[in-house]
């Protein structure tokens, strides 16, 4: 021990940092507790409630300091009398307070007991890279049966390409048969196996689609790897490869289901396909021949606000091949693809003439605040 102290005393700071960043230094993190006050021994008065420090708790859970602890003096008691609510580790107001190593295995464990009718407690980890979410993980399948005896549950997570994470336990409301109470204690998060080596390329997480009548807006979380691109297929046919994390699919049919997949690519390496995403476009809000049907640009925000580049995406336009003409302050303008660019910021008038098949016509005028 004395030899080690002498060595550390003579070792330059830069070399110590290098050693700590080496596999030997990372190995030393295995088994180290990464949550502070996971034993709920320290509380602080916040409004009407005593709340444990370093934890953010939804007030619908009516948190209490309990002396019925699994260990130590205190535990956290919650009441499941509302909807879905979370207890989130939130040290020093940091969104993702726990530093992690990409590819490493981590164990989240917690003790619990209570009077609850249904299986409950959903462990959740959100992984971050450079401040951006790269993968949220919610383990619904890890819900447990709760009794009035203390039990422990352990869940293993593998870090993606990430440098930090946030930790939460989410509880579902349970109001059948009266008040439902649950106590948790000794929440722990530890590395059990270091990462090291190459991490296989994975498809991005959070792949979702928001439909309109003729468009579907796709989005996903970044993978956090430099040089990665994302390849999207629609109905089994390649659609686009992009380095962005959003894409709008246009020119779609009304009230039609579309199937999407996404995979990551870097150089010659490709990930597996994501789970399929099925999304159905909306139909017209009224019948095609209904006199009340008036097409409208849904990208124009409330009170007529819009950006300089307005996406010309229409709802309640029955004929996708309709003839559409545009004027800005009385001057005829031609859009570039499906984008209309205003010449300046400020209040301007946009007039639109639409002619659908069958010679049905509309003259529509917008008073816009262009940013």
Q: pLDDT for 265-316, tens place per residue?
A: 999 999 999 999 999 999 999 999 999 999 999 999 989 999 999 999 999 9
Q: What is the CATH number of the domain that holds 98?
A: 2.60.120.260
| pLDDT above 70 coverage of the chain, percent | 92
Query: What domain range includes position 154?
Result: 29-193
Q: Is residue 165 assigned to a domain?
A: yes
Please report the pLDDT score of residue 28 as a whole number.
53
Same domain, 35 and 174: yes
**Do 328 and 212 share a structural domain?**
no
Predicted confidence at residue 46, as pLDDT, reads 79
Are residues 214 and 321 part of one domain?
no
Rounded CA gap, 322 and 313, in Å?
13
Residues 108 and 68 in one domain: yes
Is 9 a member of any domain?
no
One domain for residues 123 and 244: no
Q: Are residues 48 and 117 in the same domain?
A: yes
Residues 150 and 72 in one domain: yes
Query: Phi then psi for 245, rounded to 5 degrees?
Result: -120, 20
Taking a C-beta distance cutoff of 8 angstroms, is the pair 112, 121 a contact?
yes
The reply to whether 264 and 305 lie within a common domain is no
Sign of CA dihedral 112, 154, 175, 38: positive
Task: Work out the average pLDDT over 184-200.
Answer: 90
Query: pLDDT tens-digit profile of 148-165?
Result: 999 999 999 999 999 999
Question: Half-sphere exposure of residue 190, counting CA atoms within 13 Å on the CB side?
Answer: 15
Same domain, 226 and 187: no
Cα gap 23→355, rounded to integer Å: 68
Q: Are 150 and 67 in contact (CB under 8 A)?
A: no
Same domain, 75 and 173: yes
**How long is the chain?**
371
Domain co-membership, 220 together with 102: no
CA 247 from chain centre, in angstroms, equals 17
Answer with the one of 280, 309, 340 that is the final residue of a domain. 280
The reported pTM is 0.79
Task: Provide the domain count of the chain.
Answer: 3
pLDDT tens by residue, 221-250? 999 899 999 999 999 999 999 999 999 999
Cα angle for residues 183, 184, 189 (degrees, 5° grid):
175
The CATH number assigned to the domain holding 311 equals 2.60.40
Query: Is there a domain that residue 20 lies in?
Result: no
Q: What's the pLDDT score for residue 21?
A: 42
């Amino acid at each position: 021990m004395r030899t080690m102290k002498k060595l550390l005393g003579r070792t330059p700071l830069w070399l110590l940092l290098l050693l700590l960043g080496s596999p030997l230094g990372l190995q030393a993190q295995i088994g180290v507790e990464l949550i502070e006050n996971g034993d709920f021994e320290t509380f602080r008065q916040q409004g009407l409630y005593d709340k444990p420090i370093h934890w953010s708790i939804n007030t619908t859970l009516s948190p209490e300091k309990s002396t019925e602890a699994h260990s130590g003096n205190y535990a956290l008691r919650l009441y499941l009398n509302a909807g879905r609510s979370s207890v989130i580790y939130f040290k020093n107001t940091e969104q993702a307070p726990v530093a992690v190593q990409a590819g490493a295995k981590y164990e989240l464990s917690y003790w619990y007991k209570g009077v609850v009718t249904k299986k409950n407690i959903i462990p959740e980890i959100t992984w971050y890279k450079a401040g951006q979410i790269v993968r949220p993980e919610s383990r619904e399948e890890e819900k447990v049966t709760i009794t009035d005896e203390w039990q422990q549950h352990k869940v293993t997570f593998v870090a993606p390409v990430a440098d930090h994470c946030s930790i939460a336990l989410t509880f579902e409301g349970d109001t059948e048969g009266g008040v439902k109470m649950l106590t948790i204690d000794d929440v722990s998060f530890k590395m059990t196996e270091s990462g090291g080596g190459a991490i296989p390329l994975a498809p991005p997480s959070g792949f979702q689609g928001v439909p309109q009548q003729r468009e579907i807006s796709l989005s996903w979380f970044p993978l956090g790897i430099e040089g990665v691109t994302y390849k999207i297929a629609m109905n089994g046919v390649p659609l686009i490869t992009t380095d962005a994390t959003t894409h709008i699919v246009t020119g779609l049919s009304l009230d039609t289901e579309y199937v999407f997949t996404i995979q990551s690519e870097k150089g010659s390496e490709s990930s597996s396909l994501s789970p399929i995403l099925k999304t159905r476009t909306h139909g017209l809000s009224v019948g095609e021949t209904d006199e009340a049907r008036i097409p409208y640009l849904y990208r124009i925000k409330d009170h007529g606000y819009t950006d300089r580049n307005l996406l010309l995406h229409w709802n309640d336009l029955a004929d996708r091949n309709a003839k559409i003409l545009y004027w800005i302050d009385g001057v005829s303008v031609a859009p570039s693809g499906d984008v209309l660019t205003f010449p300046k910021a400020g209040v301007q008038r946009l007039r639109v003439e639409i002619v659908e098949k069958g010679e049905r016509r509309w003259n529509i005028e917008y008073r816009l605040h262009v940013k």
